[in-house]
Structure 1
Amino acid sequence: MRYVTLADVFAHPVAQKYLKRSGIAHAIATAYHAYRLALQYGVNVDLATKAALLHDIGHYEWYANGTWDYEQYKQNDIHAIKGAERAHKLLIRLGEHPKNAKEIALAILLHTDSYLPEGEFKRKPLQTIIKLADEADEEPGGKHHYRKIDETLAWKKIKQLDELVDRKMHHERLDDII
């Protein structure tokens, strides 16, 4: 059962504010990568697409002398921590099941190694998928955050992905019944 759709999330002013900061085109592309990977690895597509859409909403803009400073960002950023918190709060407000909101927030928290201590770290499948989906859309120097997408096209892609998720989840429910 889906408590909150991608369109519900995307429409919320908090999501809009932070998705615009971190790159709507990147967020949507990452959500599509997450959908594909979730199918491949048997992970819940609803949780994967929501986590991927929201994975970078904790970004802070690192500027030096009026221009984006990618190196400063790489050395000092902890966006996954702030993003996990923002996503959890947003999803709870929208009516997401608390267990789902926690799983999504944890996947966002662990989607990057940039702030984690060196060494071996074992992720759960959903967490791994969000990391891989993000990496699949990355561009050198953080340029993926600055790709543009027309608002109408963004909404079209969100609605299409919602339909794919709904169909997959409906199919799984039918399999459970049969």
Structure 2
Amino acid sequence: MRHVTLLDIFTHPIAKKYLTRSGVAHAVSVAYHAFRLSTQYNVNPDLATKAALLHDIGHYEWYTDGQWDYEKYKKNDIHAIKGAERAHKLLIRLGEEPQAAKEIALAILLHTDSYLPEGTIHQRPLQKVVKLADEADEEPGGKHHYRQMDYALAVKKIEELDQNVERILGSEQFKQLG
């Protein structure tokens, strides 16, 4: 049973504020990629799509002389840390099951290694799915954060994705995995 839907998250004022900052079109696209990848990696699509939708909710705006400074962002940003905390708090407020909120937050924390010291970390399947989904939508110079999507279309796509997640969660294939 889902305690919180993607639409619940997407329409919450906190999510609206920060998803607008990091790019609604990117967030929706990454959620769709995560849904697709969740079946490949035998990952719960509910957790994957929520983590993917919120993966950049911790973005800070890095500007120099009024212009977005991608190099400054790459050098100084720790959005995954802030995003994990912000997403966890939002999910708990919305009534998400605490363990699910924690797993989603950890996937957000580990969706990028740009702020980590040299070396690799072992990612669990959910964390890998969110990272791969984000990478599937990236464009050079961070341009994926600036693609536009009409809010009404975004809501429609989120509703469709919620229906797809419900369909998979109710399928016999998923019940056998769970």
| TM-score, normalization by structure 2 | 0.97
Question: Aligned partners of 2:174, 2:111: CA distance in 1, in Å?
Answer: 32
The one-letter code sitting in structure 1 at the alignment partner of 2:62 is: W
Deviation at 1:172, TM superposition (A): 4.1
Q: Deviations over 1:88-129 (max 9, x none)?
A: 000000000000000000000000011011112100000000
Question: Aligned partners of 2:35, 2:156: CA distance in 1, in Å?
Answer: 16
| Structure-2 change in CA distance of 1:161 and 1:174 (3 Å) | closer
Gaps of 5+ in 1: none
Who is 2:155 aligned against? 155
Who is 1:62 aligned against? 62
Who is 1:130 aligned against? 130
Gaps of 5+ in 2: none
Who is 1:112 aligned against? 112
| TM-score, normalization by structure 1 | 0.97
Question: Aligned partners of 2:104, 2:61: CA distance in 1, in Å?
Answer: 23
Question: Aligned partners of 2:101, 2:24: CA distance in 1, in Å?
Answer: 21
Deviation at 1:175, TM superposition (A): 4.3
Q: Deviations over 1:60-83 (max 9, x none)?
A: 000001100000000000000000
Question: Aligned partners of 1:49, 1:152: CA distance in 2, in Å?
Answer: 19
Between the two proteins, the alignment pairs up a number of residues equal to 176
The one-letter code sitting in structure 2 at the alignment partner of 1:135 is: E
The one-letter code sitting in structure 2 at the alignment partner of 1:57 is: I
The one-letter code sitting in structure 2 at the alignment partner of 1:113 is: D
The one-letter code sitting in structure 2 at the alignment partner of 1:45 is: P
Identity of aligned residues (%): 72
Who is 1:46 aligned against? 46
- What RMSD, in angstroms, separates the aligned Cα atoms of the two structures? 1.1
Q: Which runs of 4+ in 1 moved over 6 A?
A: none
Who is 1:24 aligned against? 24
| Structure-2 change in CA distance of 1:93 and 1:173 (3 Å) | farther
Question: Aligned partners of 2:120, 2:130: CA distance in 1, in Å?
Answer: 18
